[in-house]
Structure 1
Amino acid sequence: MPDLTVSFIQTSLQWHDPAANWKELQRHIDEISVPTDLIVLPEMFTTGFSMDAEHLAETMDGPTVAWMRQLAAARNAVITGSIIIRDEAGQYYNRLLWVRPDGSLSYYNKRHLFSMAGEHTVYTAGNERLIEEWRGWRICPLVCYDLRFPVWSRNPMHEPYDLLLYVANWPASRRTAWMTLLRARAMENLAYTMGVNCVGIDGNSLAYAGDSALLDMRGEYLVEVGNQETGITRTLRRADLEAFRERFPALQDADPFELLQPSAEIERR
């Protein structure tokens, strides 16, 4: 099976300014000097982590989706990250978009909404995980606060994913949790794990420390970038993943359960 080359962009996000953020992200993407299979951007990469969905939301045929399609085609790579979306029914979502070079796309609506910031009062929670097959790899993309909930990140025993990734606006005040939980998710799921965060200070005066990282299935750092604005590209080795899982087949010993429906639906019955 082939290796997978992945890139991520860690940058400051201009508050409520999609055009400025497209320009800055485009600059970093243009600096990727080698072919890559996957380009990962932060959570709410056009606006910063905002609750002003009424004024900032786009539709699925809006300018950011068009921009992502253009980039994916130009780089022959999937591009992913989350933005604020309004659907046909007027519901708002913190939606991760998975845009392929041929223009087709999938999406994942953030499941765990951050009630401390009132995210649950503005956005609708998702209830389906996304696991994408891409160039021989199975990839599970999630969003920020999902990192704190290991059951939602759990690797299926029979068709495990190979790469787990989180796009985030994770504040500097909780950076210890970010770094600790990324390592835990990598180790417990025996998967390469990536966390892509932003830096700087947002319109609510929250500081972000970055700490974007790529870890192997042992929980060892392959890349950790601190708080600088940067783009990073690395190649994940399929043979290393398969050899480690063969030597340490912990997934086959996992407790056999699955989530059938969100707990809120059970409580209503």
Structure 2
Amino acid sequence: MIFLIKDNRRELTLKHKIAMIQLDIHYGDTQTNYTRASTFIDKAVKSGADIILLPELWTSGYDLTRLDEIADDQAKESIAFLQEQAKKYNVSLVGGSVAEKCDDGVRNTLLVVDSKGKLVHKYSKLHLFQLMDEHVYLEEGNDKTEFELDGTDSAGFICYDIRFPEWMRKSALNDAKVMYVVAEWPKLRIDHWRILLQARAIENQCYVIACNRSGSDPKNEFGGMSLIIDPWGEVVAEGGLEEEIVIGEVDFSLVEEVRKRIPVFGDRREERY
């Protein structure tokens, strides 16, 4: 359900129903993952969602040694898939991230498509996670994280990024009201996932909407527990360990309310740090 407020500047969409597809990704099997994502998107739309998230590297999983074979050239196939789904259902997609084959190597790239099918943002993961050999097989990104989606200033991050609060604070200072996170976060450290995401929401006084994968691959077991956290740090919706669609409602007008009640940004001592 979408509620619209008219003003002289633009039509603002403040309330959304969010669906996070906590996919159990088929290792290295891109065509199966496209098919299964399409099925889950259909189910999410039928639940009333108007913004849908997919997890990190949802087309391939961490099949890093075969990236030369399975990475998506300039992410063209993945973008076309997301655009088709967005236009078919009139829904916005924070389309997880995919292995994008670029001129200088492969990047882990987040894709965002609006309800008209327009590609509104690409962000390639800046912080590569050495414990999963990302630095061996992937090139780091240098894109900015901010974009506008459905009239709301937003930002997008990938998994390990949430351990770098200074990286996410930059987007908050640029007025991001919601931070979307897509991940393949291991079950072994799932407590860190929840705590770090709540901290990022509280300190930046914004929504954090985080979609993690479920299931396992040959080397790792993943933790699920996709989350929607409001600017007070309260959990709005939370998934379990298994494959599912996690749904929650948000009201982005709460961000301004929280920032006015506790004016953290106005009290920063930028000259000191």
Answer whether TM exceeds 0.5 for this pair: yes
How many residues are treated as equivalent by the alignment? 256
Of the three residues 71, 83, 99, the one matched with 1:57 is 71
Residue in 1 that maps onto 2:163? 148
Shift of 1:18: 1.1
8 Å Cα contact 2:207-2:252 kept in structure 1? no
- CA gap of 1:138–1:132, structure 2 versus 1, over 3 A, is same
Aligned residues: percent identity?
A: 29
- CA gap of 1:66–1:240, structure 2 versus 1, over 3 A, is same
Residue in 2 that maps onto 1:261? none
Question: Is the aligned partner of 1:108 residue 2:123?
Answer: yes
- CA gap of 1:222–1:155, structure 2 versus 1, over 3 A, is farther
Of the three residues 6, 21, 39, the one matched with 2:52 is 39
Question: Is the aligned partner of 1:168 residue 2:180?
Answer: no
8 Å Cα contact 2:238-2:246 kept in structure 1? no
Residue in 1 that maps onto 2:9? none
Of the three residues 251, 266, 270, the one matched with 1:237 is 251
Residue in 1 that maps onto 2:149? 134
Shift of 1:166: 1.0
Shift of 1:128: 2.5
Structure 1 residues 208-223: aligned runs within 5 Å: 208-223=222-237
SS state at 2:73 partner = coil
CA displacement, residues 115-144 of structure 1 (integer Å, 9 cap, x when unaligned): 122211211111232211122211111000
SS state at 2:154 partner = strand
| Runs of 5+ consecutive residues of structure 1 not aligned to the other structure | 258-269
8 Å Cα contact 2:145-2:171 kept in structure 1? no
8 Å Cα contact 1:155-1:189 kept in structure 2? no
- Counting strand residues as a fraction of each chain, which structure ranks higher? 2
8 Å Cα contact 2:185-2:212 kept in structure 1? yes
CA RMSD of aligned residues (A): 1.9
- CA gap of 1:76–1:85, structure 2 versus 1, over 3 A, is same
Shift of 1:77: 2.3
SS state at 1:208 partner = coil
Distance 1:135 1:100 in 2: 7
8 Å Cα contact 1:214-1:222 kept in structure 2? yes
Q: TM-score, normalised to structure 2's length?
A: 0.87
Of the three residues 193, 207, 220, the one matched with 1:178 is 193
Letter paired with 1:60: Q
CA displacement, residues 141-186 of structure 1 (integer Å, 9 cap, x when unaligned): 1000001111111155654111112100000111111111011101
Letter paired with 2:83: R
- CA gap of 1:66–1:190, structure 2 versus 1, over 3 A, is same
Distance 2:166 2:155 in 1: 13
Residue in 1 that maps onto 2:241? 227
Residue in 1 that maps onto 2:15? 3
Distance 1:72 1:233 in 2: 18
Distance 1:212 1:109 in 2: 21
Shift of 1:187: 0.6
CA displacement, residues 200-248 of structure 1 (integer Å, 9 cap, x when unaligned): 11132x1112011110111111011111221133221133222222111
Residue in 1 that maps onto 2:37? 25
Of the three residues 86, 95, 113, the one matched with 1:72 is 86
Distance 1:109 1:158 in 2: 20
